[in-house]
Amino acid sequence: MKFKLIFIISILFILILSFSSAKIVYRDAPTINFTPSEEAIEIGNNLNISENDMDDMLAKGFKVIRYNDTLTIAKQMYYAQIALAKSGGKTDFLLIQQKIDELTNLKKIAFLASDELKALELAINQTKSVDLSPALEIYAQAKESFDSERYETALTLIDKTYEKISELEAFDTQLKAFYEATSTSLINFLKQRWKVILIFLTVIILSSILTYNSIIIFSLKNKLNDLETRKDSIRKLIAKTQKEYFEDGKLSETTYKTRVTKYAELIRDINRQIPLLREELEIRLKKRKRI
C-alpha cells in the first residue's frame, strides 16, 4: 500500500513538472491557453533575457533607444507567431531569433565601445608633450557617435583617433630629432669656423655703420635742400603778395596782413630747422672721416 502511494505521488509530481515546463517564460507574453512548442518556449526565454539585458544597460547609464526599438519589433513578431500557432497555422521564429541575436550583439558592442572610449581617454590624458588637437576632433566625433548609439561608427572613430595620435607622436619625435641634429651640426660648425664667422660679422657691422651713416648724411642733405627750396618759394609768394597789394590793389589790407604773417611764420620755422640739420650733418661728416 505504501509503495502504491509513493508511485502515485511520483506520477503526480512528473505531471506537474511537465505542465510547468510547457508554460512560456517570457515575462511580457500574453496569456495563452494552449501548449506552445519547445522552439516558442526557447524564443520566449531569449526575449526575456534580452529585456533583462536592457535593464542592465539602463542601470549602467547606456542609452537604449535603439535597443528598445529592436526589442519591441522582436516582441511584436513573437506575439504574431504565437497568435498564428494558436489558430493552427505554421510558425516560423527564424526572424525573431535573428532580432534576438542582433540585440545580443548590440549589447556586446555597446559595452566594448564604452570600454574602448575609457581606454582612449586615458591614453589622451597620458599624452602631454604632443599637440593632440587633430586627434581630439576625431575623439569628439567618436563620443558623439557613442551617445547616439552608433557603436559601430564609434569603434571605427576610436581606431582612427589612435592612428592620429600615433602619427602626431611620430611627427613630434622626428621634429625633435631634426632639431637635435640641427643644433649639434650648428654647434660643430661654430666650433670649427668661429674665427671666420667673427671676421665676417665684424665686416658686416662696419659696413652697416658706414652705410647707415652715409644714408643719414644723404637724408640730411636732401632735407636741407628741401628747406632752402621752400624758403625761396615762400619769399617769392611774399613778393607776389606785396605787388598785388601795393601796386595792383587786388588784395585788401586784412588779406595782405594775414598772408604776410603766415609766410613769416613759415620762414621762421624753416630758419629754426636749418641750423639743427646743418649741425647734425657736420657731426656725421666728421664721423665718416674718422672711420
Write the CB contacts of 134 (distance below 8 Å, at least 6 apart in sequence).
Answer: 164, 168
Query: What integer is the mean pLDDT of 120-137?
Result: 85
Domain boundary (56, 87, 110) is at 110
pLDDT interval class at 178 (50, 70, 90): low
pLDDT class of 183 with cuts at 50, 70, 90: low
Residue 63 located in a structural domain: yes
The answer to whether residue 105 is domain-embedded is yes
Determine, yes or no, domain membership for 118: no
Segment 211-226, tens digit of pLDDT: 777 888 888 889 999 9
Residue 138: inside a domain:
no
Q: Among the three residues 71, 90, 110, which one is the final residue of a domain in this structure?
A: 110
Count up the domains in the chain and report the number: 2
The pLDDT of residue 152 is: 93
Q: What residues have CB less than 8 Å from 91, skipping those under 6 apart?
A: 37, 39, 40, 81, 82, 84, 85
Instruction: Please check whether residue 13 lies inside any domain of the structure.
Output: no
Distance between CA atoms of residues 141 and 157, nearest Å: 7
Domain boundary among 80, 110, 140: 110
Q: Which residues contact 113 (CB under 8 A, 6 or more apart)?
A: 146, 151, 154, 155, 158
- pLDDT in the model for residue 16: 37
Mean pLDDT of the chain: 81
Query: For residues 241 and 234, what is the distance between their CA atoms, to the nearest angstrom?
Result: 10
Residue at 75 is within a domain: yes
Is there a domain that residue 96 lies in?
A: yes
> Has residue 163 got a pLDDT over 80?
yes
pLDDT digits (tens, 9 = 90+) for 223-277: 999 999 998 999 999 998 888 888 888 888 888 889 889 989 999 999 999 999 8
For 86-124, what is each residue's pLDDT tens digit? 888 888 999 999 999 999 999 999 999 999 999 989 988
pLDDT at position 281:
84
Helix, strand, coil share (%) of the chain residues, nearest 5: 85, 0, 15
**Domain span at 258:** 193-290
> What pLDDT, on the 0 to 100 scale, is given for residue 225?
92
- Whether residue 120 is contained in a domain is answered as no
55 pLDDT band, cuts 50/70/90, is very high
- Place 171 in a pLDDT band, splitting at 50, 70 and 90: confident
Q: pLDDT at residue 29 above 60?
A: no
